[in-house]
Amino acid sequence: MSDPGADSAGRLARAQGCTKAAGLDALLVTPGPDLRYLTGYDAIALERLTCLLLPAEGAPSIVVPLLERAAAEASPLGDQGVAIHTWAETDDPYALVARVLGDVRAVALDDHMWAAKVLALRDAMPGVAQRPGGAVLRELRMRKTTTEVAALRAAGRAIDAVHARVHEWLQPGRTEREVGADIADAILAAGHSTVDFVIVASGPNGASPHHEVSDRVIAPGDAVVVDIGGTMPSGYCSDSTRVYAVGDPGAELLAAYQVLQSAQEAACLWARPGVSCASVDAAARDVIAAAGYGEQFVHRTGHGIGLETHEDPYIVAGNELLLEPGMAFSVEPGIYLPGRYGARIEDILVCTDTGAERLNLRPRELVVLEG
């Protein structure tokens, strides 16, 4: 598979167009997903300033610490004609940014820029208005190219391979932490470069959507929510949730789970070009509410995914953004009964020309393991 960042030169040009259209003079981007998206440079986030300077018109440049020059030159920046300006330990990099930018009145800063850097740039350019850069970049990043979709598809296969092995580790008498450690090892073995999160939420812990792991011992009869994800060498992320029952889950959990599965299926089938993010959320939420669990579905139905696990578009009530081909997002309704149990089913989908493709293909039925 080709490098998902191979179109960096085109991305820089399109970002310049968006910057100009927003009435801004420049876009400033520090290490993080936006810099990797625009240039392919996966720079280390340090207290020392690295900052891409992308003027609305003119050639882009980047300010880097002198000790990072070799890394910057070895990155895709070297093939993009991006001028590299270095600064030594006793130099003021923020004054350097101001000098390189020249006469500007308003700039956008990437949404992940550290507050200390934002304030230092403000001090170096006191008459320059600062705006959030997310509004400039979101229109580009949330529409994935075919190469990006291929990277997300590979991430989906990798995390599916881990879910296929959960039965090996999820056994009564083991703690959530022990199971989580095995899963984390498997995420790396499946081809991810990093483990981003491991949720093993057994019994009442399953009612906390963002529970991670604890020393609770898994017991027969427990429902266990396993929500896992990582980042692939491509930079693109995986994220998938399945529910496992250790032994007999009981009639009540089975009934709730059937509602949940119907809700997730309804939302996945509804997702297509031209429907709103809010309507996809409603497709899942209406099924759960009709069954009497509306107050137990406490979060949005989904989030976009790409170089970040959570990015635009968000599948939530009130978001009237219409889906378009290339938009990738999760569909993950849940039902949570505090003190008792929880359940969530999550797949990553990508909007196609006619509908939506699921990138996670593991069975969505409740997985019943021997107790």
CA dist 71 and 77 (Å) reads 10
CATH number for the domain spanning 56: value is 3.40.350.10
pLDDT, tens digit, 9 for 90 and up, residues 316-370:
999 999 999 999 999 999 999 999 999 999 999 999 999 999 999 999 999 999 8
pLDDT, tens digit, 9 for 90 and up, residues 19-71:
999 999 999 999 999 999 999 999 999 999 999 999 999 999 999 999 999 99
Q: Among the three residues 107, 141, 175, which one is the final residue of a domain in this structure?
A: 141
First to last CA, the chain: 42
In terms of domains, do 268 and 343 share one? yes
Encoded tokens for 300: 């949005």
Q: What is the pTM of this model?
A: 0.94
CA dist 141 and 235 (Å) reads 13
- Rg of the Cα trace of the chain? 23
CATH number for the domain spanning 297: value is 3.90.230.10
Q: Among the three residues 93, 115, 141, which one is the final residue of a domain in this structure?
A: 141
Given a contact cutoff of 8 angstroms between Cβ atoms, the answer to whether 248 and 326 are in contact is no
In terms of domains, do 258 and 205 share one? yes
Beta-carbon contacts of residue 97 (< 8 Å; ≥ 6 apart): 28, 49, 51, 53, 63, 121, 124, 125
Indicate the pLDDT class of residue 1, thresholds 50, 70 and 90.
very low
* Structural domain includes residue 2: no
In terms of domains, do 160 and 260 share one? yes
* Structural domain includes residue 1: no
In terms of domains, do 100 and 161 share one? no
Residues of the domain holding 124: 8-141
Output the DSSP codes for 256-305.
HHHHHHHHHHHHHHH--TTSBHHHHHHHHHHHHHHTT-GGG--S-SEEE-
